[in-house]
Structure 1
Amino acid sequence: MPEVAARADTVAELGGELSRQLSRVVPHDGYLLSGFDPVTGARCFLACENGYDTRARRRMDREDALGRTRGPVAGLLHGPCPAVVLGAGSPQEHPDARRLHDLMGAGVYGSEICVALTRRGVLRGVLVLLRERGARPFSPTETARAAELAPSLALAVGRYVTGRPLRPRPVHLPPGIVIVNSDDEIAGVTSAGREALGGVPPGVYPAGERDPFSFIWHLTYTARRTAAPAVTCAPTPLGWFSLRAEPLEGAMAGDVVVTLQPATAAELLPAIAQWYGISRRERAVVEQALQGRAAKQIARRLDLSPHTVNDHFKAVYRKTGVSSREELIACLA
């Protein structure tokens, strides 16, 4: 299944391909694919097709940010099976799924399988498969099949993110601003914010139901819950973006400002290191290079030989698809 990522140019195409492959062994009526920043744990991309409507998705994002509807996913990291059934009517559904029943009740879906996609013990994404109300719920056999495929699905998500060389930061794009008020309405958006959101395709939805702001709700609710900034680095067709949701204080308490801009090196390097498998030593060498130090200076500071420093650079070039130190710096700084 990792080869699916090579054929996908967008998250929507990735989700569609994974859904088609999975439908052969686990038939389903719709799906949601979420990616998560491996450093902050915040959502960094989203795609869905024939899934919950806008209102239901936003309610689920709010509940998820509170650790409710799909909170059991966090426990999957430490359990024997990376898949659980959530939803009405399934004898093997997770006991924490009660809240999901109410959310599903207003729509057409009655059962879902939630699959945790992990790599090296870190949650990289969640794939939700949906079955309409009235159809038989997902069976234990289907859940087991989904669990068996979870490593391949996680690898495909990772290949989608890392399968293309790093691109230079789009420094020509100004920061975009979106303001979400306390009633969860878009109170304002800059033209740069709308343009940036246009480069973060949220996926495919039913006709006429496109929500250009669907990508930011989970981050917004997370910031509101923690009363602290919530940050994610998102891979987009325009390059890597940083999304930062921060609650306002004073007279505008309850409002959240979401800033979208090309990710800085300080924001991007930790995420890149996780996604691309850059080691701790390799990351330290890159950090020194970002400060403008030559290879010999880096060797002295890290107590390494110049030959080892060059080997670390070559390893980073190979992993990220760049060809030189200058190109690497242009992608990060």
Structure 2
Amino acid sequence: MRWTVERLIEEIDLLGARGLPREEFFAELSPRLRNVIDNDASCWHTLDPSTRLLTADAPKELIERGVFAPEATPAAGELIVRSEYMVDDVNTFAGLAARRVPVGILDHVTRGDPRRSARYRDLLLPAGIPHELRAAFVIRGRAWGAVHIARRASSGAFQQRDADALAALTGAIARGIRASLRFDAARRVTGAEAPGMVVLGPGDEVELITPPARDLLASLHPREPRCTGETIPTPVLALASFVRSAPDGGQGGGNVVTVPGGDGWVTLHASRPGPHHDGRVAVVLEPARGARSATVRLEAFGATARERDVATLLARGLSRAEIAEALVLSPHTVEDHVKSLYDKVGVGSRQELVARVFLDEYLPEVVRQTPLTSRGRFDRG
């Protein structure tokens, strides 16, 4: 029996509330997606929310369902990166993330001639995948992930109704990816940005607590210097109570709050790690930080702060006009910044800039499968 889109959104929110590891979240999501959108396989990706560059992929289903042999996946990954950043191609993840509706069908955007796409010629056609549906998963302008959905010729082309259904799911999937990254980072408890995690039982008793969580909980008791870090402050108890009572575990909103602590603001993200009825709540705590500045590599090239802003937006696929609007600059000023960037970095195009400044840094981390922080960036700690 086919599912409605509304039912699948509920299922995705429940998956997100469980705080699953990223790959497990994707593995659970793929078969559920087929209850609404018929497909032969899907490949999920995470993106750096700041730059919209690929940070990880999950090609397991492409291998299991015979689209690619295991030994072919590294070469396929290189072709994906090439089509995303090194050549002008259609329906790139960064391009989709910039759209009001971040979904695209390859057949539609190429007007029935998919050979116009380098990705189709170099990757999809040799793999026997003539039909592709793609989406980026965006919340408030920040892209947390993306998906490639494949159909063989025997399965028929994707239709607009498939794209409409996927568009309706993008917010829920973005929330699920964001939750997975946050809980993945908390489980590792390593790196400079590692948050803490505390699991509360049905009666708010502490079942599990990580070392960083002790310090962060203590910081929420600035007037109690003898606090052991396991005395649960009121904001945490209130958030846990809300998540227990919310039908979707609060994934639709309200399960993330930022509260003042003795050493600055602390962000709390709560989720139900088990069945709805068991009353347990996991809370991730992390220091609230502002947006990270542009990469050190751009600084090494001598780029100014404004030029670093422009470079980041170029990497995200924005046009000159969109950059001007985003940064409240005139198009002429943006063009001057772009020319200055190209001169300093020694490149002549957007693709070369992304390759020189960003991909040299990102690709080794993707190949090494470097873990991600709760903010979707590589954890190099």
- TM-score when scaled to structure 2? 0.44
- TM-score when scaled to structure 1? 0.49
Task: Please tell me whether Structure 1 or Structure 2 has the larger radius of gyration of its CA atoms.
Answer: 2
